[in-house]
């Protein structure tokens, strides 16, 4: 059982009204949470070992869902989904039972108006904290904290209005990050306002703990990384790759990185003391964070101008980078394998019938296998290999999607434009 599961399960059991509910909790268990954007370690990896399947994959359950590219998350045997309410300037948060899809609670709230040609629903992925809070961030900047068991609203904050920030063309998309380095857990969000590029809020009440920087926001999500025995907040804003103190917000090192279309969206990938970044016009750069006395600096390891990640975040397997690169005219998403150390492209799936989408595909490393959820809803199981593309199985699991899947105990939760589905994956 994960730490999220232990703490949340204990909290839920203390509040159970009957022994029947308690028995249900004990039977189902909470192994393998996927409580935030890109999973427990925020790097799109899961311990589940998946074996090839034949003749497609079954659907355990499905549930209708409103507009949104926000990814589902899983914690303590529950699936949480954030969506727009049809025909209203409202967003909803729904809690579903992981094994049955039963609705456990649903909450609706008003939001400022938001419209976009590529969808009007939330983009940011919810966050479930170890103490049982659920944080959602809407497309127009409404950040809410909920009790994950009951759905009770704990606090609400308009991050754009409060910090005098402008919304992005595609809407607020950066996912909140949980940081607990002391006795006051923080929720860190990218706001993109003057003197409030990054903001840390008290998770208990939403009050500002610190704010720092004046960069505009990007669509990328920050990560927490340990480098050289020290914790760093790593964030890719619209202007820089930033290494900051997570407890104070102080910017310790910056590297200029600007997308010509202001569409930086891929999440930084951290391996050891190295960080990979990319954008749709900026190509890719691998950097090393190093100390020089009491100062920290970014050292460029390699740069590849033709490796353009759009809003798919790469994964790393056996010192190789698997990534989806994009181009806009015509829009094509290509799966590639790249040597982490040198940036050399080892192979590409680039040709008719080989592209994984027009703009996007989601990557997830399940133990030693690579799952690729194509834009058209086709799920691929691959053997990660620098020697070439090795497909083991494929199946259609949903409709067109840009949402990243969530994986818990061999249950893959996917979301498309109309519904969320739970897909059992075969175990060894």
Q: What is the pLDDT of residues 110-119, one digit of tens each?
A: 999 999 999 9
The predicted pLDDT at position 293 comes to: 85
| pLDDT higher than 80, residue 27 | no
| pLDDT higher than 70, residue 7 | no
Region of poorest pLDDT, from 181-190, 219-228, 308-317? 181-190
- Average pLDDT over the chain, rounded to whole? 93
- The contacts of residue 352 (CB under 8 Å, 6+ apart) are none
Q: 121 pLDDT band (50/70/90 cuts)?
A: very high
Mean pLDDT of 5-21: 41
| Bridge partners (DSSP) listed for residue 423 | 412
The predicted pLDDT at position 4 comes to: 52
DSSP tag of 409:
T
Q: Is the pTM of this model over 0.85?
A: yes
Q: What is the pLDDT of residues 308-343, one digit of tens each?
A: 999 999 999 999 999 999 988 899 999 999 999 999
Q: Which of 1, 99, 101, 100 is nearest to 47 (CA)?
A: 1
The predicted pLDDT at position 403 comes to: 98
Helix (H, G, I), strand (E, B) or coil at 413: strand
Residue 219 or 8, more confident: 219
| Bridge partners (DSSP) listed for residue 292 | 295
Q: 200 pLDDT band (50/70/90 cuts)?
A: very high
Q: What is the pLDDT of residues 91-105, one digit of tens each?
A: 999 999 999 999 999
Cα separation, 4 vs 173, in Å, equals 24
The predicted pLDDT at position 215 comes to: 98
- The contacts of residue 105 (CB under 8 Å, 6+ apart) are 94, 95, 150, 151
Q: 32 pLDDT band (50/70/90 cuts)?
A: confident
Are 254 and 298 within 8 A, CB to CB?
yes
| pLDDT higher than 90, residue 155 | yes
| pLDDT higher than 90, residue 292 | no
The predicted pLDDT at position 183 comes to: 83
The predicted pLDDT at position 8 comes to: 46
Q: What is the pLDDT of residues 36-46, one digit of tens each?
A: 999 999 999 99
| pLDDT higher than 70, residue 30 | no
Long-range contacts of 117-121, Cβ-Cβ distance < 8 Å, separation of 24 or more: 118/170, 119/67, 119/68, 119/69, 120/67, 120/84, 121/66, 121/67, 121/68, 121/69, 121/70, 121/83, 121/84, 121/91
Q: What is the pLDDT of residues 64-94, one digit of tens each?
A: 999 999 999 999 999 999 999 999 999 999 9
**Over pLDDT 90: what percentage of the chain?**
89
| pLDDT higher than 80, residue 23 | no
The predicted pLDDT at position 25 comes to: 31
């Amino acid at each position: 059982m994960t730490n999220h599961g232990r703490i949340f399960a204990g909290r839920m059991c203390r509040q159970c009204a009957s022994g029947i509910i308690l028995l249900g909790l004990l039977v189902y268990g909470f192994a393998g949470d996927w409580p935030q954007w890109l999973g427990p370690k925020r790097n799109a990896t899961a311990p589940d070992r998946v074996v090839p399947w034949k003749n497609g994959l079954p659907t355990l359950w499905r549930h209708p869902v409103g507009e949104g590219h926000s990814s589902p998350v899983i914690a303590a045997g529950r699936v949480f989904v954030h969506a727009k309410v049809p025909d209203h300037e409202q967003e909803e948060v729904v809690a579903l039972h992981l094994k049955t899809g039963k609705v456990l609670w649903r909450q609706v709230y008003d939001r400022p108006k938001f419209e976009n040609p590529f969808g009007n629903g939330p983009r940011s992925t919810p966050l479930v904290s170890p103490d049982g809070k659920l944080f959602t961030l809407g497309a127009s900047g409404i950040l809410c904290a909920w009790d994950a068991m009951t759905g009770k609203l704990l606090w609400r904050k308009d991050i754009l209005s409060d910090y005098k920030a402008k919304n992005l063309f595609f809407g607020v998309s950066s996912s909140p990050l949980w940081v607990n380095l002391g006795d006051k857990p923080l929720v860190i969000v990218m706001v993109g306002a003057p003197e409030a590029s990054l903001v840390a809020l008290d998770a208990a009440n939403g009050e500002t703990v610190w704010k720092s920087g004046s960069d505009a926001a990007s669509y990328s999500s920050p990560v927490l990384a340990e480098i050289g025995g020290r914790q760093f907040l790593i964030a890719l804003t619209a202007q820089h790759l930033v290494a900051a103190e997570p407890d104070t917000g102080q910017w310790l090192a910056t590297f200029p990185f600007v997308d010509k279309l202001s569409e930086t969206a891929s999440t930084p990938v951290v391996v050891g003391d190295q960080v990979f970044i990319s954008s749709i016009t900026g190509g890719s750069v691998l950097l090393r964070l190093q100390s020089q006395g009491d100062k920290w600096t970014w050292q460029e390891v390699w740069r590849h101008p033709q490796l353009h990640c759009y809003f798919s975040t790469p994964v790393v397997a056996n010192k190789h980078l698997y990534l989806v690169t994009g181009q806009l005219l015509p829009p094509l998403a290509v799966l590639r394998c790249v040597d982490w150390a040198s940036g050399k492209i080892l192979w590409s799936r680039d040709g008719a019938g080989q592209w994984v989408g027009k703009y996007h595909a989601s990557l997830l490393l399940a133990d030693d296998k690579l799952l690729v959820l194509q834009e058209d809803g086709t799920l691929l199981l691959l053997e990660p290999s620098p020697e070439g593309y090795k497909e083991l199985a494929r199946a259609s699991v949903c409709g067109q999607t840009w949402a990243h899947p969530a994986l818990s105990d061999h249950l893959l939760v996917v979301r498309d434009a109309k519904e969320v589905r739970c897909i059992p994956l075969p175990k060894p």
